Structure 1
C-alpha cells in the first residue's frame, strides 16, 4: 500500500468546496457520540448505545435503501441489565428516517480517527484539481453524485444487509477516478513502506491504478482479514462513476506541468539537447 502525500499539479483557484467538505467532515465526526474521545479509548457502554442510535438514524442501511424495510425495534440509547449482563435497550424508532436522504448524511460520518484522516488526506490531495477543473458548483454536484452512486451500488449488491454504511470513501473514490481520467501523467509524491517509508514520485495512473486494483482484490475477500467491515465494492462503484462523469472534460483539460528536480527520491539529470 502506498500513501500519497502531495501531487505536483498546482490548481489555479482556491478549492473552497474541498476545504469546506474537510471542515464539515471533521465537525460532524467530533459531534458523533463517543468519537471525540475515541483516541484515548473513552467508549463506555452508554456511548456505544448512543452511537448505535445515531448511526441507525443517519447512516445508510442497504435493506432500508433498496426495500424500504424500516426496522421495528432499534436501540434507544438506554441501558438495562439482562440475563447476560448490561446491554442497550431496544424499542420502536423515535425518529422518521428517509433512506434516500441518509445517503447524503452518511457521507459525513466516519467510524474512527483513522477512517476520517485517511479520507480527508485523499480529498485534500486530489480534490483541489478536480474542483479547479469543474468549478465549485459542478464539483459539489459531482461529489454528491459519486457518493450516491457508491452507496446505491453497494446497497444493490448487499440488499439484505442491515449493517450501517458510513463514510466519504465512495465520493472520494469518484474524485480519484476523475483524477485518473483528467491527470493520468501528473506526478504524485507517495510514501512506500519498505523497511522505512521510502518517498517516491510516481505518475498518477500508477498510484491510482494500483489503489483501484487493491480495492478489487479486497472486495473479493482476498488479502485482507476485515473485508466484511470495509465497503470495498462502494469504492469501486464510486471510482467508476467518477471516471464516467469526468470523461467529457478530458479533451479540454490542460496537462499538468512537467515536473523538475527530484525523481524517485533522487535529483534527475538535465536533458541534453540534440
Structure 2
C-alpha cells in the first residue's frame, strides 16, 4: 500500500469546502462520547457503552437502510450485570431514527484516530483539485451524493447486516474517482514501504488505480483475513460513482503542469541539443 503525501497540481482558489469538511470531521470525532477512552486503549465499560449507544443512533445500518426495520432493543449507554458478567444495558430506543438521514450523519463518524487521519489525508490531497474544478457548491453536493451512493451500495451487498457503518471513506472514494477522471496525469508524491519508506513521484492514474484495485480485491474477501471491520464495497461503489459524475467535466479540465525532472533531490537542468 502506498501512502500519498502531496500532489503536484496547484489550485486556482482556496478549497474552503474541503477545509470545512476536515474541520467538521475532527470536531465530531473529538465530541463523540467515549471516543477519548477508546483511543487511549483503556476505555472503561461505561465509556464503551456510551460509544456503542451513540454509534447505533447515528451510524448507517444496512438492515435499516434496505428493510426500514429499526431494532427493538439498542444500547442505552448504561452498564449492568447480566448472566455473562458486566455489559451494556439494552432497552427500547429512546429516539426516532431516520435510516436515510443516518447515511449523512455516518459520514462524519470515525472509530479511531487512525481511521480519521487516514481519511482526512486523502481528502486534503485530492479534494482541493476536485473542488477547484467543480466549484464550492457543486463539490459539496457531489461529496454528499458519493457518500450516499457508497452507503446504500454497501447495504445492497449485505442487506441483512446489523453492523453499523461509519466513516467518510465512501464519500472520499468518490473524490478519488473524480480525481482519476479529471487529473490522471497529475504527479503524486507517495511513500512506498520497502524496508524503509521510499518517496516516489507517480502519476495519479497509477496511485489511484492501484488503490481501487486493492479495494475491489479486498471487497471480494481475497487478500484479507477479516473484511468485517472495513467496508471495502462502499469504497468501490463510491469510487465508481465519483468517476461517473466527473466524466462530463473532463473535456474542459485544464491539464496539470508538467513536473520538472528531479535529479537526486535537485532540479535537473534541461539538456539542449545543438
Name the counterpart of 2:49. Answer: 49
Instruction: Classify 1:125/1:263 alpha carbon distance in 2 versus 1 (closer, same or farther; 3 Å).
Output: farther
TM-aligned CA deviation for residue 38 of structure 1: 3.4
For residues 92-124 of structure 1, what are the alpha-carbon distances to aligned partners after superposition, in whole Å with 9 as ceiling and x for unaligned? 000000000000000000011000000000000
CA distance in 1, matches of 2:183, 2:263: 18
1:223 Cα deviation after fit: 1.4
What are the equivalent positions in structure 2 for 1:68-217 lying under 5 Å apart?
68-217=68-217
Structure 2, unmatched stretches of 5+, are none
Aligned to 1:32: 32
Deviation at 1:131, TM superposition (A): 0.3
Kept in 1, the 8 Å contact 2:37–2:44? The answer is no
For 2:266 and 2:60, locate their aligned partners in 1 and report how far apart those are by CA, in whole Å: 46
Greater displacement, 42-51 / 114-123? 42-51
Residues 90 and 38 (structure 1), Cα distance of their counterparts in 2 relative to 1, 3 Å cut: closer
1:260 is aligned to 2:260: yes
Q: Which digits, 9 at most, give the CA deviation of each residue in 1:53-111, with x for residues without a partner?
A: 10111000000011001100111111111122111111100000000000000000001
TM-score when scaled to structure 2? 0.97
Q: Is the 8 A contact 2:38 2:48 kept in 1?
A: no
- Tell me what 2:16 maps to: 16
Deviation at residue 189 of structure 1 after TM alignment: 0.1
How far apart are 1:237 and its partner, in Å?
Answer: 0.2
What is the TM-score normalised by the length of structure 1? 0.97
- 1:185 and 1:204 in contact (8 A); partners too: yes
Flag structure 1 segments of 5+ consecutive residues without an equivalent: none
Divergent runs of 4+, >6 A: 263-266
- Native 8 Å contact 2:37 2:47 kept in 1: no
Aligned length: 274
SS of alignment partner, residue 96 of structure 2: coil
In 2, Cα distance between equivalents of 1:264 and 1:92: 64
**Contact kept? 1:200, 1:265, Cα under 8 Å:** no
Which 10-residue stretch deviates more, 37-46 or 87-96?
A: 37-46
Q: SS in structure 2 opposite 1:4? A: strand
- Equivalent position of 1:64 in the other structure: 64
- Asked whether the 8 Å contact 2:26–2:116 carries over to 1, the reply is yes
Distance 1:13 1:205, change over 3 A: same
CA–CA separation in structure 2 for the residues paired with 1:37 and 1:72: 28
Root mean square deviation of aligned Cα: 1.4
Q: SS of the counterpart of 1:39?
A: helix
